[in-house]
Chain A
Amino acid sequence: MIEAKLLQITVAGLTTGAIYALMALGFHLVFVTARTLDFAYGAVVVMGGLVAYSLVVEWSLPLPLVLILVTLFGGAVGLGVSTAIIWPLRDRHPAAQVISLLAAGLVVENVAAVIWGKDSLPFPPFTSDTPIFILGAAVNPQSFWVIGLSLSALIASNLILYKTRLGRVLRATANDPFAARLMGINVKNMYGVAFATSLGLGTLGGTIISPITFAGGYFALPLTVKGFTASILGGIGTPFGAVMGGFLLGFIEAYMAGLITTSYMGAISMAILLVILLLRPEGLFSSKGG
């Protein structure tokens, strides 16, 4: 019975962790290329869930198509943000971009409230929500979708980053934008690629989590804080660190809730964030800082 409980908690941690990992990778991509923190991220993730809700529930489009459309939608928003906000502000004080992104997040959130309303919307499960029992643990089939799709997206982004020319160029830009420009790399395009990938992952994440958490609702800011905490926890400077941070935060939350206490959960992740920033700002899974 103890094993079943631990397994159950592990699945819960893996499910939330997968989403945090997606978001942490999104924070990482934007951070290493544009050297900024995307605090509009939670709003875009929530927006992804809402767009998908309309496509699935109101337009009755098939799910695979919805997943592709939503990811493309996030990519397009990312390109827009990069072109309209990040690139023009690239030589200003770093605060200018951070604050502008915060503001953009509020705009996105309010636009979403006008279109879809302020209440959460029940999103139908991808397959079913009758639990599957594994070794005595009841697993929500949507968890498989979340874990499977997140892992696929993580692996795909990793392949792109390390196995393609685009990835090499992106990493070169991250390492040294000035040198990259000297080598003939179009840095502006790389900003676009980074934001598009980041927000594409975000809207995809927002969609696959919606059957579990509902679409929309008052969720953008808490999500931003979670994604940011995860990326800092593992190390925002490396993709591996960010992803590990996501899973670690998911596990910490699940184990704490299941074994110790559910009180002060929000405060505890804030505390973790501050401690890591003070003691190890480069993150737990990263060897070098930014």
Chain B
Amino acid sequence: MKSLRRLMFLAIYSLLSLMILNSAGFGAEAPLRIGLVLSTTGQWSSLGGPAKDGAFLAAEKFNAAGGIKGQKVELVFEDDEGDPAKAASLLRKLTTQDNVCTVFGTSTTAASRAMAEVADNLKITMVAPVPTRAVVEGRRYVFHSAYPIDLAAEFLGQYMTEKLNWKRVAILNDTSEYGTTFAEHVEKWLKGRGIETFSEKFAPNARDLTPTWLKIAERKPDGLLLAAAAMDASAIAMKNRRQLGLKIPVLAGGALSSMRFAQLAGDAAEGTLFQSGFGYDRPREGEKKMLSAMAGKTAGGPPSTLFALGWDSTNLLLQAMQGAGCNRDGILKGLENIKGFQGASGIFNFSPTDHNGHSAKNSTIVKFEKDKFFHIFSY
């Protein structure tokens, strides 16, 4: 009996350790290097993979066009597996051992925050492809390139209430930091305008949301905002909705607007509205540029928000390096001076006080229909 209990606790201990522990990685060497930390394995690999492809395509195009005064730029890639502690130590390693000039990373908000603290300590510029301002708040050397959650909340809030005329809004979010913050912002925006709203949550590895949908359906919302980054679980959510025969219209947040999500959800994604950075059938300048760079490439598949984030973030860093080379403070100033940058996910304007650079107008609403995304709305 006693030995059984001991074995059980040993078992739990090892399971928990496995959930926490991770192993170290190795880097490469090259001149004028940009460090790249993304989550390409583990739970958030659907976020890191496309961003990595986008970053490498941007570097390839940049080098093909001559690089920085003939000098080539090389990306040094590391996988943090979605682990904040690992992301922070990888940034330290890239800066002190690989001598990278600047860093792009990482896929999750929690891990990006851990990296941001290290970036400021080491005085190295970093662009995080995450949408939470908390990552850059109070940080001198940190920028973020994704459409911020508070702007998204405002943009989607206006769209849901003014264009879709929803009077009672359900919010379904995953329990990642992104999902939770997103839901909070939207809820706050809606409540501030007297719109009735309620929310339900699911774990990023959830595999059945039938009971959750039943709870939601009982309250008869006019529509539902899916605020999540977990692609598998969100696709299952869409399938469960269809299986239950529910007709509640769904508007999905930016992290889900990709062909991969639509393919996972299959028929269940038909007719769903997404927040996006793309115009699709009405592409903007930066988007056209990325699409032409992607032509004939297999990596990245059809354009996704995350691919564009990798592409845009790397191009922003490369532009800052054009004038500054590997001078870290030069790169910082270079980034802060970027104005009217035509990115694939919108137009960026940075300043010493604004380390995000997006404006509400960069967002679009698109619809998935018959295996394609279509432009529905933008300012």
A274-290 interface code vs B (CB 8 A; 1 in, 0 out): 10010001100000011
Cβ 8 A contact of B208, one of A224, A254, A259: A254
A171-213 interface code vs B (CB 8 A; 1 in, 0 out): 0000000000000000000000000000000000000010011
A12 touches B15 (CB 8 A): no
B264 touches A122 (CB 8 A): yes
B257 to chain A, nearest CB (A): 17
CA distance A162 to B214 in the complex (A): 41
A218 touches B211 (CB 8 A): no
A277 touches B14 (CB 8 A): no
Nearest B residue (CB) for A94: B7
Interface residues of B in 225-254 (CB under 8 A from A): 231-232, 235-236, 239, 243-245
Interface: A131 (CB within 8 A): yes
B155-177 interface code vs A (CB 8 A; 1 in, 0 out): 00000000000000000000100
B-side contacts of A222, CB under 8 Å: 205
Which of the 9-residue segments B40-48, B281-289, B337-345 touches chain A? B40-48
CA distance A261 to B298 in the complex (A): 43
Interface of A is mostly: helix
A258 touches B212 (CB 8 A): yes
B243 touches A131 (CB 8 A): yes
CA distance A9 to B209 in the complex (A): 10
Interface: B203 (CB within 8 A): yes
A8-B214, A9-B211, A254-B211 known; A263 vs B175 contact (CB < 8 Å):
yes
Interface: A247 (CB within 8 A): no
Which of the 9-residue segments A52-60, A79-87, A112-120 touches chain B? A112-120
Nearest B residue (CB) for A97: B7
B1-35 interface code vs A (CB 8 A; 1 in, 0 out): 10111011111101100110000000000000000
Interface residues on A, range: 35 or more
A-side contacts of B231, CB under 8 Å: 120
Interface: B260 (CB within 8 A): yes
A120 touches B232 (CB 8 A): yes
B45 touches A119 (CB 8 A): yes
A98-B10, A140-B243 known; A281 vs B5 contact (CB < 8 Å):
yes
A37-B7, A254-B208 known; A213 vs B245 contact (CB < 8 Å):
no
Interface: A273 (CB within 8 A): yes
A255 touches B205 (CB 8 A): no
A118 touches B200 (CB 8 A): no
B211 touches A8 (CB 8 A): yes
Interface, chain B (partner A; CB < 8 A): 1, 3-5, 7-12, 14-15, 18-19, 40-43, 45-46, 49, 175, 200-203, 205-212, 214-215, 218, 231-232, 235-236, 239, 243-245, 260, 263-264, 266
Task: List 18 additional contacts besides A98-B7, A102-B14, A118-B40; criterion CB under 8 Å.
Answer: A9-B210, A11-B210, A16-B207, A39-B14, A39-B18, A94-B3, A120-B232, A138-B245, A209-B207, A213-B207, A213-B232, A214-B232, A214-B264, A221-B15, A255-B211, A257-B211, A266-B205, A282-B4
20 contacts between A and B (CB under 8 A): A5-B214, A8-B214, A11-B210, A120-B264, A122-B266, A129-B243, A133-B245, A209-B207, A212-B208, A214-B235, A218-B45, A218-B205, A219-B207, A232-B8, A254-B208, A257-B215, A258-B214, A262-B212, A265-B202, A265-B206
Listed from nearest, the 4 A-B pairs whose CB atoms lie closest are: A258-B211, A257-B211, A213-B207, A218-B43
